[in-house]
A and B are shown apart, each in its own frame.
Chain A
Amino acid sequence: MESILVLTHADDTGSALSKASLEAVTAGIDLAARLSALLTIGIIAADAATAASSLPSSGARLLAVSGEAFAQARYASDAAAAEALCRAASATIVLAPGSSRFTRIMAGVAHRLSGFIDTHITGLSGTENVEASRWFYRQRIEAVLSRSARPWFLLLDAGTHAAFADEAGTAQVETITVELPALRTTVSGFRAPTLGAQTIRPDAKLLFVAGAGWTKKQPDGQAHVAEAGDLILGFLHATSASLGSSKSLVDQGGEGNSVLPFLTHLNQIGQTGATPRHAKGLSTCCHGEEPHVVGWRFIGSRRAISLDPNCGWTRGKADVVYVADAFPVMAKLNALLEAAKT
């Protein structure tokens, strides 16, 4: 009989579980029901008891590691905490969110427990055995895999399950003591890569992608980079969309300075960038080459504005391609969106 442990961690407040963690809880409950398995939920947080208040009716045994040392994400402390929870739960299958905090440590934890790990899991199926879906070659090949070895750690991609929702209440939590190693790393906080607006919004419904065409010479023989920046930021302001970019655009600046100052490699979508999940995506001034479009794998409805009628988007990669100059289209679009707001 399998024994499932769902590892979770707190969000930035330190006293509530992160959304990705609650998604993993849903996956754990589903899988435990399907396999008739025991379910344990492990919590890593500065204030784990409060964080556990979102799980009173999960039906799972709750284990927690709590304390100031776990307020911040750090390999040595987080790996020790996760290892202690895994040992306490004696789980054969460990599910965890594929957050930056857990992707940093979970392979190491699996190794400490003589286990094995697979990451970026997008689906779990099977009733007799666990079958996990994931992508290879940067979202170009999909595979379903299984493992006979235990413990088996599975890191779930964000957005693949609904977040577990429960009435807040008091949950019975068993506290696990962790012996911390010497800590040589101090986390001092977070830094936004650019001044001004936060342009990456993982929860936005719409992804807006800017390509290198925005910086090319226009019909008057001049590049209009400042105007392009205003149009892009105006659209983001009007729609609260998340901003992505092609590699060629962010690479233009070189040495960390983009030609569009609010763009960095963090905005990059594709083979060497992000693969975000949004319901819709609008591409502008981008050719839609395969290394970029692999980053659109989890974008639902896709539209593109491109001057090139033979660009990659027209070859089955977008639902609609407008063969047009993005400058006047975006200017008009922004005006319509602003007018609709007032």
Chain B
Amino acid sequence: MANILHIVVCAGIVPDPLQTLEPVTTPAGPGLKNEMVLPAVLDPWAASALYEAAALAAKNPGSKLWLVSLGPKAKLQQVMMTVAQKVAFELVPIDGPIGGFPDAHSTAAVLAETIAALPGLDHEKLLLFGGWESATRGAGVTLQLVGERLGITDQFQGVDQITFSDDGSFEVLERVEGGKHQVSVCAGAPAVLGWATGNLAEPRNNPQVGMANMRTIMPALAKAKVAKLDANGLSYLSVSLPKQQRTTRVVKDMTPDQIAAELVEWIGAE
């Protein structure tokens, strides 16, 4: 039997991981050099959450999927040109600052307020999805804070799999120490799930899905509300690149026997 779910995915945008990052000081605090022109992608773990959400919604007819994303409107539009071709969703954009340095509590407050005001959202059917950490701040707290603000006390982080039963309950696999999963059974929605990698591959681009999505994405971007984020007493004393650069010895002329012998010595050394 299908469970009708209202899935809200919170996903930020991050610089493409192959880009070189250089911190700079801006009037608003720390930032990245040329941040607005760096190519951006959907946050990788949040993207896993989006794909899992889409698969779950497809398995449960009547379900709805929203993608709530906070970032500069222009960057959101650029990233959505790609993401929109992957899976069907309704975008809820919030025009706000980009990057890892703004305070997570302020971000969470804006997201929670936006989600609570979503037309047609049934709190009793709500599954709040997102990445368990972002690739920017990487704190792993925003989703949890949003959940608390929405009064959700069944929360799971580092999720790799959920399996629904007919009665609406679901089994969750969460990453814990030592390469294991903790197995839990939750009675059902509402719940917060911060996704790790999950098990799904990235969906192929589907231009038809893309066109359908873009019909609602562009008007939504045009109407995106503007958010300002408070610092909440957070101050940065220094922001810098790591200075460690190793002097690499490149060995091209050793036989496998010689390399193996050298590695044995290295492994055994304290």
Contact = CB atoms under 8 A, between A and B. Distances in A.
17 contacts: A75-B154, A75-B156, A104-B156, A136-B100, A141-B23, A141-B239, A148-B233, A186-B184, A198-B179, A255-B199, A273-B197, A290-B17, A309-B250, A314-B250, A321-B248, A321-B250, A322-B254
B153 A75 contact: yes
B232 A147 contact: yes
A138 B135 contact: yes
B204 interface: no
B207 interface: no
Contact of B177 (A100, A105, A206, A336): A100
B178 A147 contact: no
A44 B136 CA distance: 31
A198 B236 contact: no
B45 A272 contact: yes
B138 A138 contact: yes
Interface of B: prevailing SS = mixed
B246 A137 contact: no
Contacts of A174: none
A108 B144 contact: yes
B57 to A, nearest CB: 19
Contact of A143 (B14, B141, B238): B238
Interface of A: 73-76, 79, 99-101, 103-108, 110-112, 116-120, 131, 135-138, 140-149, 181, 184-193, 198-202, 206, 239, 251, 254-256, 265-268, 271-273, 280, 282, 289-291, 297, 301-303, 305, 309, 313-325, 328-333, 335-337, 340
A116 B234 contact: yes
A142 B160 CA distance: 29
A99 B177 contact: yes
B179 A190 contact: no
B115 to A, nearest CB: 15
B256 interface: yes
A219 to B, nearest CB: 14
B260 to A, nearest CB: 4
B21 to A, nearest CB: 5
B199 A329 contact: no
Given A272-B45, A290-B18, A120 B234 contact: no
Contacts of B233: 116, 147-149
Name which of A137, A142, A148, A251 has the most chain B CB atoms within 10 A of its CB.
Answer: A137
A138 B136 CA distance: 7
A321 B169 CA distance: 51
A273 B239 CA distance: 23
A275 to B, nearest CB: 9
Given A107-B144, A111-B148, A137 B232 contact: no
B259 A322 contact: yes
Interface stretch (B5-13, B89-97, B261-269): B261-269
Given A100-B174, A266-B179, A108 B135 contact: no
Given A136-B100, A143-B237, 5 more contacts: A74-B184, A137-B14, A145-B234, A309-B252, A328-B256
The 3 A-B pairs with the shortest beta carbon distances in the complex, nearest first, are A200-B179, A149-B233, A107-B141
B201 interface: yes
A187 B184 contact: yes
Contacts of B140: 103, 107, 119-120
Contacts of B259: 305, 322, 324, 329, 332-333
A176 to B, nearest CB: 19
Contact of B246 (A112, A271, A317, A336): A317
Nearest to A264: B179
Contact of A314 (B100, B176, B187, B248): B248
Given A148-B233, A266-B179, A303-B263, A185 B185 contact: yes
Given A119-B141, A198-B178, A188 B263 contact: no
B267 A137 contact: no
A193 B101 contact: no
A120 B138 contact: yes
A290 B44 CA distance: 15
Contact of B251 (A107, A317, A321, A340): A321
A332 B138 contact: no
A126 to B, nearest CB: 9
A191 B148 contact: no
Contacts of B264: 333, 336-337, 340
Name which of A140, A143, A199 has the most chain B CB atoms within 10 A of its CB.
Answer: A140
B105 interface: yes
A107 B176 contact: no
Contacts of A268: 197
B167 interface: no
B145 A254 contact: no
Contact of A271 (B44, B187, B254): B44
A131 B237 contact: yes
Interface in B238-255: 238-242, 245-252, 254
B242 to A, nearest CB: 6
